[in-house]
Structure formats: C-alpha cells, structure tokens
C-alpha cells in the first residue's frame, strides 16, 4: 500500500543557505511567470501558499489569483513581492530590490516618489486603468508606462508568433 505524505509548506522546510538562494530565485521566477505568461497575480504569495517537493517549489491556492488588469492587481503584486522578500531575508538570503523586481516583472516604471531605498511603498496605489489615475500630473506617466509595456508585449509576441491578447503558456508551464 502506498502512503501519501503531503509536501511541506515552505515555512516548514529546513534548507542550507545555498538552497534558500536557489529557492528564492525559483519563487521570483514563479511570480514573474504568473504575471507575464498567465497574466495573473497570486495576491497571497507567501511561505504559507508554497509547498516544497523534490527540490522544487509549487504554488498552491491559485484559485484566488486575479487578472493583471483587475483593479488593485499592482498593489497585490507589490505585496506578493514584499512578502517573498521578507521571508527570504529572514532566511539570510540577499534579496533583490523590490522596486527593481516590480519594474522587471511588469515592465512598468515606478514613480520616484513611491521608491524608498529600493523598497516599495506598500501603502501606495498603482493604477491598472487610466480611469484610476487621480492626478493630472500622473496621467502622462501612466500613458507612457502602459505604451512602453504594450510595445514590449508586442515585440515579445512578434518574436514568439503568438497573439498579444492570449496567454502564451499552458498551465503545465507554470
């Protein structure tokens, strides 16, 4: 008879320092792939919703993820990045700057006033639709950001031969 033992949550795993570094890179890649390939933000990416099995990290509780164009998705992405970095900092991993991760994952540029020593301001709101932009001064930055991101998306789509409006991956790719 086969015994089934559930994979441990990442918070319950004991790893060496080099292994934690590898797992951190894998987690950042998961956040990036969810955003760029599946067009999703987990919205609760933490050591409680990650399991570790056969030296790999798996994301659980994906059902509550949100589309990247949904209101507040950028805010939840920032929280996911911050949660990930905080957990791995406690494990002794030298983590990447949160702002750099956000900009790399989304292709958007964060306004300078929202950056504090490479950290994201968790209290800030980053709009996903122009109707959410409150200040006239920010409209130009919003348009420039999303035009640049859209152009990068088209270039990636042209290179891959896919459609810009469709997810270019299968669930198994995540």
Q: How many H helices and E strands in the chain?
A: 4, 6
Band (4; pLDDT cuts 50, 70, 90): confident
Note if the pTM is more than 0.85.
no
| pLDDT, tens digit, 9 for 90 and up, residues 6-46 | 999 999 999 999 999 999 999 999 999 999 999 999 999 99
SS3 labels along 94-156: CCCCHHHHHHHHHCCCCCHHHEECCEECCCCCCCCCHHHCCCHHHHHHHHHHHHHHHHHHHHH
Residue 33 is a catalytic residue: no
Predicted local distance difference test score (pLDDT) of residue 125? 61
The active-site residue, picked from 61, 96, 104, 138, is 61
Of 44, 96, 104, 138, which one is the catalytic site residue? 44
Task: Give the CATH number of domain 10-127.
Answer: 1.10.510.10
**If you average pLDDT over residues 122-127, what whole number do you get?**
61
pLDDT in tens, 55-96: 999 999 999 999 998 988 988 999 999 999 999 999 999 999
In the chain, what are the domain boundaries?
Answer: 10-127
């Amino acid at each position: 008879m086969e015994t089934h033992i559930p994979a441990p949550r990442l918070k319950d795993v004991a790893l060496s320092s080099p292994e934690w570094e590898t797992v951190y890179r894998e987690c950042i890649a998961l956040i990036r792939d969810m955003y760029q390939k599946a067009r999703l933000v987990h919205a609760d990416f933490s050591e409680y919703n990650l399991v570790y099995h056969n030296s790999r990290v798996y994301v659980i509780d994906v059902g509550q993820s949100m589309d990247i164009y949904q209101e507040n998705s950028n805010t939840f992405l920032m929280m996911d990045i911050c949660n990930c970095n905080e957990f791995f900092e406690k494990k002794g991993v030298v983590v990447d700057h949160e702002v750099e991760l956000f900009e790399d994952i989304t292709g958007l540029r964060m306004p300078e006033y929202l950056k504090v020593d490479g950290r994201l301001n968790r209290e800030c709101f980053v709009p996903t639709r122009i109707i959410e932009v409150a200040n006239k001064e920010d409209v130009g930055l919003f348009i420039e950001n999303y035009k640049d991101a859209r152009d990068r998306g088209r270039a990636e789509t042209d290179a891959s031969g896919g459609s810009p409006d469709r997810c270019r991956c299968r669930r198994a790719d995540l």
